[in-house]
Amino acid sequence: MSAPIVLGIETSCDETAVGIVRGRSLLANVIASSVEEHARFGGVVPEIASRAHLEAMQPTITQALKDANISLSDIDSVAVTAGPGLVGALLVGVGAATGLALGLDKPIFAVNHLAAHISVDALTHTETLTPTIALLVSGGHSSLLQVDDITGSITKLGATMDDAAGEAFDKIARVMKLGFPGGPTIDALAKTGDADSINFPRGLTTSNDWQTRPFDFSFSGLKTAVARYLEATPDYAKADVAASFQEAIVDVLLLKSLAACKASGIDSLVIAGGVAANSRLRAVAEARCQKVGIRLRIPVPGLCTDNGAMVAALGSLMVAAGRAPSPIAFDADSSLPVTTVSV
Ligand code: KG4
Ligand code: ZN
């Protein structure tokens, strides 16, 4: 018998995304983004996102079924992001997913967006995920986690005390007038810059910080330092600023990730979330992990940023682990903690 088919729906931010997997094989991954409608506001406008999800939902599901070459009746389980995210946006996905599960009389798995980011690794690597240290870096969250079982046991080791890593990229891009979202633009611009040209601060890395907050992050000091530099240097070289800023973030993310591996005795690191698409983070992670013998896994760039495949992947892992589905009437939770894998 072939593995069950899971359809996953993701609407936590500005992507209306539907993924379909069979076991750990990806069958479809369709993403409709409303990012252009938000760009002139410099960030995602919740109500615009919700309305865009409503419009895009049905065509996105239809396209995913077509790409997977299946019909609705082939679906064995439905998975959906229950949080964290924008509540009005989440509710559109939750409404669509519960409607599908009810109509098809199939189980529904209401899962955590952050755990789903990590789970997508299962689609590209056959080796089991656990135990592993996970660096989760997205637009809304940055944390270091110990994952003993991605379907139910995640421990938080540390998190950002202010901005998320992706948020820092987006804010610096805004002050440099590089557009939204900032991460991909800074990544591209940094390729032609000198990462050693400006020595920006590495947050929470004093010896006292290593004693008291070894696995927490802070990017607000870096953000202020970059803003001050820009003010004081009217003819600044954009590429050098981008490269030096990016280097400060990459450096501190990896210093702390490798310290978490060392402290826990776990020789495996997964990097997930939108910022995991960053080319410099990927390259430096590979070099540093190889040096100290840590097995590194990062999803392909296209599966790092928000997508439906990751939700389907986590749903599929829940099915395989024999986890109980969610009740059909569950709540979307805009601040669902990363340690709650499903509701
Ligand atoms: O995971 P994600 O798609 O959405 C959230 O759950 O937040 O992450 C989006 C974030 C944005 O802040 C975006 O600027 C950042 O990921 N990002 C990047 C890159 N691609 C996306 N940051 C740095 N380099 C990139 N290549
Ligand atoms: Zn995300």
Ligand 2 ion local residues (Cβ < 5 A): 138, 306
* Residue ID of nearest Cα to ligand 1 atom 10: 139
Ligand 1 lining (C-beta closer than 6 Å): 13, 138-140, 166-167, 169-170, 181-184, 187, 273-275, 277-278, 305-306
Rounded distance from Cα 338 to ligand 2 centre (Å): 12
SS3 state of residue 162: coil
Q: Which of 169, 180, 187 to mutate to test the pocket of ligand 1 (most atoms within 8 A of CB)?
A: 169
Q: Phi-psi category of 281—alpha, beta or left, where left has phi over 0 and alpha has psi -120 to 50?
A: alpha
Q: What are phi and psi of 160, to 5 degrees?
A: -75, 145
Residue type, 343: V
Q: Which residues on neighbouring strands pair with residue 33, listed in sequence order?
A: 15
Q: What is the pTM of this model?
A: 0.97
Best residue for ligand 1 mutational test, from 305, 310, 338 (most atoms within 8 Å of Cβ): 305
Q: ω before 181 within 30° of 0 (cis)?
A: yes
The H or E element containing residue 258 is helix 238-264
Distance 232 CA to ligand 2 centre (A): 34
Q: Where are the beta strands (DSSP E) in 34-140?
A: 77-83, 108-112, 132-137
- List the chain pLDDT tens, one digit each, 343 residues: 789 999 999 999 999 999 999 999 999 999 999 999 998 888 899 999 999 999 999 999 999 999 999 999 999 999 999 999 999 999 999 999 999 999 999 999 999 999 999 999 999 988 776 899 999 999 999 999 999 999 999 999 999 999 999 999 999 999 999 998 999 999 999 999 999 999 999 999 999 999 999 999 999 999 999 999 999 999 999 999 999 999 999 999 999 999 999 999 999 999 999 999 999 999 999 999 999 999 999 999 999 999 999 999 999 999 999 999 999 999 999 999 999 999 9
